[in-house]
Structure 1
Amino acid sequence: MVPRRSWVEQVMGLPISVLARGDGAESEVAEAAVRGVYAELVEVDRVFSPYKADSAVSLLARGEVGWDGVDPVVREVAERCVAARELTGGLFDAQVPGGTWDPSGLVKGWSVERAGARLREVDDVDWCLNAGGDVLVVCPSKEPFTVGIQDPRDTGRVLASVSRTGGAVATSGTAARGAHLYDPRSGGAVESRWASVSVTGPSLEYADVLATAAFVAEDDWPEVLTALRGYEGLGILADGKLFATPGWGGG
């Protein structure tokens, strides 16, 4: 039986789990890589959380610091948010109603993708990193992991699944937090007949951005995914019916 080991910690206000599979899963090298992942994500949360009073995002929102007074990584993320807005035709925007800047919709995917570089350095281990339903897969063995897609109507049930030997799966919708997404074009909450949109692709950063933008786009969501090559989607309607783009399931 192939050795496996798992970890889970609460970071960014959500459970982040890591599953290791392979001969080196129980090694000190694997342990060090995972601890490095968690340490990096804790630091990202310290800098970018809008819920921490001393984060860069909160200081910027209160006007206590300007863009020239924040760490370069904050300016890098701001540039990535601008690029994401341009990529999605304004469907993704870190400028939220009220005029404040909240990069949360990009930061989770970006930070997990970046932290995942530590896992890629461990050659004899397959990895599945799950950050609150957004998943990064690294499989040197080329043996896939099966990633479940949650039923938005029943969070304890898996409605679909997709096999991946690498890359990412990201989901945006109303299951976890209700109608929390807004349409940057109108400034109002998104009210859609779609309960969720899941996106697969090479990068978790872009899969996450495209999933958010696709959900905002409502019935036009499949068109959003054509902005980048290699990204496919699965939409779940409020009644539980599924609709997949042609390349969904390729992993």
Structure 2
Amino acid sequence: MIRRAQPWLGTMVEVTIPGAHDLAAADAAFAEVARVHRLMSFHDAASDVSRVNRGDPGDAVEVDADTWQVLRIALDLAELSDGVFDIACAPRLVAWDVLPAPAPARPQARPVQEVIALDEGKRVRKLAPGWIDLGGIAKGYAVDLAADALRQAGIAEGCVNAGGDLRVFGPSPMPVAVRSPITPGQAASRIMLANEALATSASYFSRRSSGGRQVSALVDARDGTALTLDRSASVRAPRCVLADALAKVVLATGDANHPALAACGASAFLV
């Protein structure tokens, strides 16, 4: 078995390949994760996300095809979730010191549909002042790309895990432990995963105090409140990009049967 890990996207990304294989396949998987990190980082001034955030209303910013695709999925999920999931929540995260301010003047938090629109030719049109953050969806997309890279390299089964956002492929189910939201060092449940993705959202690692109140890296975009409850939401989906984003929807609503799940062929459970 090959098991390798590298730090990307603010977490440890682990690639597991049962049996003996060429390490070049794992390198190809990590290269995809690194590319997503470079394109979609909120912190990197050269990233596509930063260039969009610096844009003025009326600007059209050309981005990489993968960035454009993640934005397309994010806009679709904002609509499917009735605004629970919204990548334009970054001004709130900056106000809570969860993210660094990319500019001195902080824009108002608006629904993403009021901030950007997607045009042909991989262009992102800025509609109003605002900042986007793909931290709630990019990890899942990177996991999908990494898993695809492994399969393209001839790997028949394996697992890519980015801090709990993971995808398993191949004929053999793999055991996965889901952390307890109360004591995250312990497992609350164990499941078997085969040819699907799993993502879990909880505030146990990002919860902090800011301005005399509890905040976290997770936002219910409907009203801008921070998610700080002692519970977690896990979503199983065909792709990790969907599981990653939908886990935030289930955590915010407490609804393990939210209509967005069925629309994406996903299921969920709360702990």
**Which range, TM-score by smaller chain?**
0.7 to 0.9
Residue pair 2:143, 2:162 contacting (<8 A) in 1 also: yes
CA distance in 2, matches of 1:117, 1:44: 14
Q: Which residue of 1 aligns with 2:21?
A: 27
1:69 and 2:62 aligned: yes
Gap change, CA 1:226 and 1:132, over 3 Å in 2:
closer
Q: Deviations over 1:73-99 (max 9, x none)?
A: 333322221111122221111111433
Letter in 1 for 2:159: C
Q: In the alignment, which of 125, 149, 152 is matched to residue 178 of structure 2?
A: 149
Q: Deviations over 1:110-145 (max 9, x none)?
A: 121122112223556420111001111012xx2210
Map 1:115-130 to 2 at 5 A: 115-121=146-152, 123=154, 125-130=156-161
Q: Which residue of 1 aligns with 2:203?
A: 174
CA distance in 2, matches of 1:120, 1:72: 21
CA distance in 2, matches of 1:10, 1:42: 9
Q: Give the superposition deviation at 1:199.
A: 1.0
TM-score by length of 2: 0.76
Gap change, CA 1:57 and 1:124, over 3 Å in 2:
closer
Letter in 2 for 1:177: S
CA distance in 2, matches of 1:195, 1:224: 20
Instruction: Give the SS at the match of 2:231.
Output: strand
Q: Give the superposition deviation at 1:226.
A: 3.9
CA distance in 1, matches of 2:131, 2:243: 24
1:183 and 2:212 aligned: no
Residue pair 1:199, 1:232 contacting (<8 A) in 2 also: yes
Letter in 2 for 1:34: A
- Matched residues, number: 224
Gap change, CA 1:227 and 1:67, over 3 Å in 2:
farther
Residue pair 1:145, 1:163 contacting (<8 A) in 2 also: yes
Gap change, CA 1:151 and 1:191, over 3 Å in 2:
closer
Q: In the alignment, which of 42, 57, 67 is matched to residue 49 of structure 2?
A: 57
Instruction: Give the SS at the match of 1:116.
Output: helix
1:203 and 2:232 aligned: no
CA distance in 1, matches of 2:156, 2:62: 40
Q: Which residue of 2 aligns with 1:107?
A: 138
Residue pair 2:33, 2:145 contacting (<8 A) in 1 also: no
CA distance in 2, matches of 1:144, 1:227: 23
Gap change, CA 1:20 and 1:79, over 3 Å in 2:
same
Letter in 2 for 1:235: L
Map 1:80-91 to 2 at 5 A: 80-91=73-84
1:228 and 2:220 aligned: no
Residue pair 2:32, 2:149 contacting (<8 A) in 1 also: no
Residue pair 1:87, 1:227 contacting (<8 A) in 2 also: no
Of all paired residues, the percent bearing the same amino acid is: 29
Q: Deviations over 1:152-208 (max 9, x none)?
A: 22222111011012111100111221232111111222354x510011121111111
CA distance in 1, matches of 2:37, 2:61: 20
CA distance in 2, matches of 1:89, 1:162: 30
Unaligned runs of 5+ in 2: 92-108, 110-129, 208-215
